[in-house]
Copies of this chain bind each other. A is one copy, B any other.
Amino acid sequence: MKKICAIIHNRANYGSIKSVLLLLKKNKSFKLQIIVGGSANLERFGSVTKIIKNDKFKIDKKINFVIEGNSPLEMSKSTGLAILEISNSLDELKPDLVITVGDRYETIATAISASYMNIPLAHTMGGEISGTIDESVRHAVTKFSNIHFAATKIAKKNILKMGENKNYVFNVGCPRIDEVKKILKKEPAELQRIINSFGVGENLNLEKPFITIMNHPVTTEYGSGEKEISKILKIVNKIDIQKIVFWPNPDAGSEDISRGIRKWREKFGDHKTRYFKNLEQKYFYHILNKTECLIGNSSSGVREGSFIGVKNICIGSRQSGREIGKNTFMIKNKEKTLLSLLKKILKSKTKKIRDNRYGDGYAAERIVKILKNINFKYEKKLKY
């Protein structure tokens, strides 16, 4: 029985791997180990730990390593502390394989810990292109990884070009899509009630049109977050429609954006707007499915959005370079274009613009099948 250890760092992270964990847990060839760290244990970012437990997973280790401070210095140092904590956990759990997701500081910390401890590493979402520090982290993690589960054809090609061993690179689709597919099958009866019992602000009527704003900090633009979100809020408020606003995720710079939202709210109040720290995925994807338009810079709009077909106005550099479907409209200069683009979208009659470039809902099945048949250990060497 092979011990597979997944490390979950936040809500998004969990959603990106959940379908794989569910299959691994059921499969008798594997013993699943789960480490929960990063902001996933922190109440002020929505305790993901509880969600994981509700999904009936056993958590083997809970670790905390987020150093408060909200500047690049603390993000860097949290990476260091993460390595200390993850190394300790791996030493205790002694997995045969570590599986890690994406491109966050916790991901590179995981990659380094596993590599120096001679534990093979599998990576999902490698080979994609984006802006900011995530870009460097993602490809660095590829260079540490033994097994690559790319989410798209292009991503697989990129990983191979970077010199990885072709026997260990697979295009399986994104496991997030597995979850999206499952969730969208049926709308939860309680959706309308949930929306108005969580979060703060005015109540929403989901039968009527609404737009959704979701803006995360951009590490390389540290310090400008307050201005950015303020501009967006100012523009979208020119349109008389219901609004959902999400607080940013807790990277360096999140305080800036939060402050921008708080100030807006204190100054102008809650006209038809409801604010969420986060929403469980089973509700969130229905919101994406129902919203007239998503506005901001979140990867959900690009990724799950292309499968869902939600119209997505993506502002600034955070997703630049990222493979996008036709549902996404990249804009740079929001002052000039956001308002007109948003008006156009709200008038359009095409409801959805779908494609499968990020997966068809069977990523987890492919991954687990591969893990059953592959050798985890081999010596990595640039393949040119």
Contact = CB atoms under 8 A, between A and B. Distances in A.
Interface in A253-267: 255, 259, 266
Complex copy number for this chain: 4
Interface in A71-89: 72-77, 79-85, 87-88
Contacts of A69: 41-42, 64, 66
A133 B161 contact: no
Contact of A317 (B74, B87, B379): B379
A26 to B, nearest CB: 28
A276 interface: no
A36 to B, nearest CB: 12
A22 interface: no
B140 A144 contact: yes
Given A39-B68, A115-B133, 13 more contacts: A73-B88, A76-B113, A80-B82, A80-B109, A88-B88, A111-B140, A118-B219, A136-B144, A140-B144, A162-B162, A200-B266, A317-B379, A321-B381
Q: Which 10 A-B pairs have the closest CB atoms?
A: A80-B83, A76-B116, A64-B69, A140-B140, A139-B143, A80-B84, A76-B87, A140-B143, A66-B68, A80-B80
Interface of A: 39, 41-44, 64-70, 72-77, 79-85, 87-88, 91-92, 105, 108-109, 111-113, 115-118, 129, 131-133, 135-137, 139-144, 157-158, 161-163, 200, 219-220, 222, 252, 255, 259, 266, 317, 321, 379-382, 384
